[in-house]
Structure formats: C-alpha cells, structure tokens
Amino acid sequence: MDLQQFRINAHRVADWMADYLVSLPDRPVSPSLAPGAIRRQFPAAPPSTGESFEQVLADLERIVMPGMSHWQHPGWFGYFPADTSPASVLAEMMTATMGANCMSWATCPAGTETEQAMMEWLRQLIGLPATFTGVIQDTASSATLVAILCARERATGFSWSRLGASAPDAGRLTVYASREAHSSIAKGVRLAGIGEERLRLIDTDATFAMRPDALASAMAADVAAGLKPACVVATVGTTSSTALDPVPAIAELTARYGAWLHVDAAYAGSAAVLPEQHHLLQGVDRADSFVFNPHKWLFTNFDCSAYFVRDVDTLVRTCGIHPEYLKSAHDDAVVNYRDWGIPLGRRFRALKLWFVLRDFGVEGLQAKIREHIALAREFRGWVEADPAFEPMAPTPLGLVCFRHRPTELRADDPAVDELNRRLLASINSTGRALLTHTTLNGRYVLRLSVGSLALTREYLRETWELIVECAAGV
Ligand code: PLP
C-alpha cells in the first residue's frame, strides 16, 4: 500500500469506524458460535504475494466480524467496562501512525513529557495527594506485579534482586489481600518468587470488604512465626462486587509492620473524579502505590493503566537497568519511563489520555460517571421492587449484583444457583444484553455492570424487562 492508497483507505476505515459505532445497537452483543469456527476460516499459511485492501476488508466482514464481542454495545454489562470514546480512538490512530517507541526521553521527548503532564492531570483529577507521581503501565496486573516487586526489594534491603533465593530474607516474606481480591495479586506473588503459599487471603465482612481485625491477626501470627510481612494489597472496588476495603485501618497495620501498602482501584478509581466519591480515596495518602485503569471507566482505549507511587527511587531501583546502548546525554536531567516498569518498549499512550481529557473536560467525565452510578442505582431499585429478585451485595458504584429467587425457594436452596445459571444463558442468548456472573458467599450471582458510553436509560429499562421475561421462561 503506497501513501496515496493509504490516504484513500484511511478515509474508508474512518467511515467504517463511524458506521460500526452507529450500528452497534442493531448487532447481537456477543456471538454465539462453537470454538474453532473463526480460526478454521483462515488459510493455513500467509499469502505469498500482497493482497488488495478491499479483499482484506471483505474478509474482515466475512470472517472476523461474526466472531466479535461488542464491548462498546449499549447492552454490554459484562465484567467491568472497557470503554473507548471517539477522541481516544482518533488518538490511537495517530499514535499508531507515528509508531514511536517511548522507552526513554531520548527516544521520544514528547512521549515522555506528555506522559508526565497527563499523569499530573490524572492525579489532580481523582484527588490523589501531590506526594504521588504517576506512570502509565499496560494493565493493573502489571502495575500490581511492579508494586509487589518493589515491596519485595524494600523488605529485603534491595538484596533479593542481587542474591535471589539466597538473600537473607528470601523465603520469609508474606503478602496479604482479601479473599475477594483480584487474581492478579496471586499471580504477582507467584511471579515475584514469593510463592502463593505466602499469600494470606484475609476474611471479609458482610459487605465483602477486608476485615482489618483478621488482617491484624494474620500479620501478628506471621511475625510471631518469624515471617516478614512485605506487602498488603487493599482493593477499592473488588471485581466480584465492588467492595471497598477499609484503607485507613489497613494503613495503620502496614505502618505498624513496615509493610508496603498497594491500593488496587483498577475499576473504582475513575469514580474518584466525582467530589461526592472522594471518600473512595480515604487513607490512600498513606499508601506506597495506587493503581486505576482509565481503560476501564475513563473512556480511554485499552490499554492504559495509571500507576502512582510515593517513592520513585524505590521504583527505579527495582526496575531500572542501564545498558550502554540506551545511555543518552540527558539521562541525569530527564525521566526514562523504561525504568518505571517491566517492558523496555513503550507505546505513546499518553496521547489518548490527553485527547480524552480535553474532549470531555473534567465536567464531562464527571457527568458521565455520575450518570452511570445513578443508572446502576435505578436498576437496583427495580431489582428490590420485584419480589422474585434480590440484590446480593451493596451497590456503591456502577455494578449491581443480584439474582432471581422465586418466593417459594429458600435462600440456600441450590436450585436457585441452577436457575440463575440458566437465566444468565437465556439473557445472553438473546443478543440484546451480555451479563456475567460471580459467586458471593458461595452463591451464584449475576453481575450487571453499567458503564457503556452508548447506554441510555431506555436501553437499561428494556434490559430489565428482558431479564424479567427470561426469568419467567427458565
Ligand atoms: N484489579 C481489579 C480490582 C480488577 O477488577 C481487574 C480487572 O477487572 C484487575 C485488577 C486487572 O486489570 P487489568 O486487566 O488491567 O490487568
């Protein structure tokens, strides 16, 4: 494809993108097909000569689109949102066009300095104290792994990275998170070499939030056994139910034992753009690190995870590496983000954040998130008002956990789980909505996550009516 063809095709792709977004409500939210159905349509080997862009676009429609799950659909209520927005998509196209590797200041000064500016904007936007400095990571999972690595280094006097398993404190470190914490914490503990058997999963209370008394007992028992608490991960907005761990009480304990406090607010952090949600960050001023995902609920394309730390030195001592071929004249005066995370190569992710923050403005972001929270509360009200349904967890933000329970069935009847399994399959098979599930207190629960930029109140109401209709059918 030469540049003249590129220009023509780029216009066609722009039209395709706008048409796609307009068409979303008319498409089934997710495909219904057997595993392998898409793969088997690809030729076994790549083409030996180049093919026309028309052919590629035609095959996109024929092969790929029938297998797409439409995450930006107004009926997407699964998992947590992974919102994009028009401004973000346009920035991604420009990032891709420039194709810069922003691994260090010297390799792309604008990439580094835009990221510095955007991390400062984001910090202010969600009301994090000025003691925090931010960097973009690909995902919250990577950010949490980095936090655990930093905790490990600090707890071992930075000797683990030099001595490995023979470091004096190796084998003594422990990590804590609630039973409801995201699986990325267990993965991080495993990858950091601490070992999953040293991860303590702390009991939760009736709201599914970590119990600080249980954390205190676990830490005290470990210290008495000669172990060394290295890190506590508090979750603000758990994956199953958006439970809010009590960060101030947890911070008391991490201070007492000198452990690292990492706050995982992957989903809920975006809600802190609202003044009325600032309580979400209570106690976070005492954390060592904090992560939230603009790629979940801040209308910024995947991937973009905002990781904030109080002590940049520890981060750079843990992740920094200085081979000769990367040295440059200004290294003493600039930030080299390659030393602030795991990968060397880095995309210019800050550009899309800049576009999004300018396109929405603070007030635009606040209005959208406020609307989502209000819609989730309204949906919860419909659940509460119907005797054949019940909410299964608090709804502090945009997620409603609920289930169908006909009045004749007791709460602990296993038939209720089976009924809701069938209900979920029935709702999702309509193509009008996609919900996901979890278990809370061992019970099968439906999750409806409000967050699509395309969602309207009318669509949500129709979804509720659809759920009631499907429930009558199962
Ligand atoms: N932490 C929480 C609380 C989450 O809900 C999720 C994903 O939903 C993650 C971490 C992982 O996020 P990522 O996909 O950015 O690694």
Q: Is 137 in the pocket of ligand 1 (CB under 6 A)?
A: no
Rounded Cα–Cα distance for residues 364 and 80 (Å): 20
**Residue in 137, 145, 264, 280 to alter for ligand 1 test, most ligand atoms within 8 A of Cβ:** 264
For residue 138, which atom of ligand 1 is closest to its CA?
Answer: 15
- The helix/strand/coil state of 306 is strand
Query: Residue 116 Cα, ligand 1 centroid: separation in angstroms?
Result: 23
Residue 423 tokens read as: 């209900």
What is the block-wise mean pLDDT of the chain (474 residues), using blocks of 10 residues? 97 98 97 95 97 97 97 98 97 98 96 98 97 98 98 94 87 97 98 96 98 98 98 98 98 98 98 97 98 98 97 96 90 93 97 98 98 98 98 98 96 96 98 98 97 96 98 95
Residue minimizing CA distance to atom 5 of ligand 1: 239
Query: Residue 82 Cα, ligand 1 centroid: separation in angstroms?
Result: 11
Q: How many Å separate Cα 470 from the centre of its chain? A: 30
With a CB cutoff of 8 Å and minimum separation 6, the contacts of 233 are 144, 147, 148, 175, 176, 177, 181, 185, 262, 263, 264
Rounded Cα–Cα distance for residues 411 and 423 (Å): 17
φ, ψ dihedrals at 178, nearest 5°: -80, 165
φ, ψ dihedrals at 263, nearest 5°: -110, 120
pLDDT of residue 149: 97
> Please, how many CA atoms are within 13 Å of residue 186, restricted to the half-sphere of its CB?
11
For residue 293, which atom of ligand 1 is closest to its CA?
Answer: 15
Residue 212 tokens read as: 């600080």
Query: Residue 147 Cα, ligand 1 centroid: separation in angstroms?
Result: 14
Q: Is 95 in the pocket of ligand 1 (CB under 6 A)?
A: no
Q: Is 178 in the pocket of ligand 1 (CB under 6 A)?
A: no
**Residue in 144, 291, 293 to alter for ligand 1 test, most ligand atoms within 8 A of Cβ:** 293
pLDDT of residue 383: 98
Q: Is 267 in the pocket of ligand 1 (CB under 6 A)?
A: yes
**Residue in 182, 280, 292, 342 to alter for ligand 1 test, most ligand atoms within 8 A of Cβ:** 182
Can you spell out the DSSP letters for 361-425?
Answer: HHHHHHHHHHHHHHHHHHHHHHHHH-TTEEE-S--SSSEEEEEE--TTS-TT-HHHHHHHHHHHH
Q: Is 140 in the pocket of ligand 1 (CB under 6 A)?
A: yes
For residue 295, which atom of ligand 1 is closest to its CA?
Answer: 15
pLDDT of residue 170: 87
φ, ψ dihedrals at 402, nearest 5°: -155, 175
Query: Residue 57 Cα, ligand 1 centroid: separation in angstroms?
Result: 33
